[in-house]
Structure formats: C-alpha cells, structure tokens
C-alpha cells in the first residue's frame, strides 16, 4: 500500500507491517485496556517514523552518488529502500549503508534533551533509535553492518572473495542471533535470525552453481 511520496520516492507499507501493528495493539489492549492500546499505537508510530528516517537516509545518500530509489517499503522486519542499481565502489557502499544508522543517531540525539524535560515518549524514542542504529551495524548481510563488512573486504580481497567471507560471517551471525533470541525469548529476533540464515545459505548455493 502506497501511503505518500517523498521527493518522488513512493513510501509503501507491506501487509506484514500490519501484522506486527495489530499484534502490539491487541497485546496492549489485553494487558491495560484502552490505555495499553493507545500506548501500543504510540510506540508503533515511533517505530514507523524511525524506520522511515533510517531508509530515507539510505535513499538520500544514494542520490548523492547518482543512484535513484524506486520505493521505500516498511515491512514486518523493518524497512527496505529499493535503489535502482548497486553502488559502483566499496566507498559508495559504505557511505550508503551508514547513512541509515546515522538517521537513527540523529533521532537519538534529538530525544536526549526531550528526556531531560520529561516529555512523554522521549525515552521510548531514544531507546528505539539506539537499538535500531546499533542493531543494524551487526555484521550480517544484507544488514548495514554486513554491507560495510563486505565493502571493506572487497577493498582487500576483491568482489568474489569478499562476498564469500561476508556470507560465512552472516551464517555465523544469524546463529548467534538465534541463540540470543531463544535465551531471551524474543520471537522477533528469531525471525530476523531465520531470515538472515536462509538468505545467506541461498546466496551461498547460488554462488557455487
């Protein structure tokens, strides 16, 4: 579903985004009634804004290198800025990848003075963006940290070997995330770990055929 366009880029919601939104609202209403439902809607709105700014950071940096963005889509596991082509150099890849977490850092810094004045929701906004910014730097492809790792490896070993190593690191990282998710009981983290593992294994098989 297309919500609106920003600077010519369609902003879309995938149907899976509604799954997590509805689940949070139902859980909030079940635990705290109307107050819980309102709190859930507020948190979802903060999450929506944070993910959107993250992806807009990618799109804005890509544009600086002459790369357009077809659309920004928000889904169950976060967001995706669909750029029109891959960056031409590892340096471009690194800048585009880091622009997303940089957007979260901006929101985190903005939230700090609001927390000082005890503005409602400021601490939640700071926490969401701190977690999002740090988590996306995890060295697992295609997350931002994984893209940075692949670009750095490419500078030293070339495209083929960099891809091979980064996928190996992704498989190992996804297993670590799954173990942490099991230990903490975080279903969302298990979903992310499963997605990364399946994607990495599929890319490994594709590269060997």
Which of 142, 143, 141 is CA-nearest to residue 133?
143
CA distance 162 to 131: 27
21: left (phi over 0), alpha (psi -120 to 50) or beta: alpha
User: What b/e string do you get for 190-202 counting C-beta neighbours within 10 Å, with b at 16 or more?
Assistant: bbbbeebbebbee
Active site members? 55
C-alpha 71 chain-centroid distance: 15
Report yes or no: 149 and 166 within 8 Å, Cβ to Cβ: yes
């Amino acid at each position: 579903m297309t919500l609106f366009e920003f600077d010519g880029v369609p902003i879309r919601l995938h149907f899976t985004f509604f799954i997590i939104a509805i689940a949070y609202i139902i859980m909030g209403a079940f635990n705290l009634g109307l107050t819980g439902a309102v709190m859930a809607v507020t948190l979802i709105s903060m999450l929506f804004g944070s993910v959107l700014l993250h992806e807009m950071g990618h799109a804005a940096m890509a544009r600086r290198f002459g790369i357009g963005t077809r659309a920004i889509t928000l889904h169950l596991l976060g967001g995706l800025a669909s750029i029109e082509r891959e960056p031409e150099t590892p340096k471009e890849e690194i800048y585009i990848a880091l622009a997303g977490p940089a957007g979260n850092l901006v929101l985190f810094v903005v939230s700090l003075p609001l927390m000082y004045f005890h503005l409602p929701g400021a601490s939640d906004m700071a926490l969401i963006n701190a977690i999002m910014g740090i988590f996306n730097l995890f060295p697992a492809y295609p997350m931002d940290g994984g893209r940075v790792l692949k670009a750095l490896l490419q500078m030293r070993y070339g495209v083929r070997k960099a891809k091979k190593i980064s996928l190996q690191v992704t498989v190992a990282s996804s297993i670590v995330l799954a173990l942490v998710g099991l230990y903490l009981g975080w279903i969302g983290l298990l979903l992310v770990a499963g997605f990364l593992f399946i994607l990495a294994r599929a890319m490994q098989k594709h590269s060997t055929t």
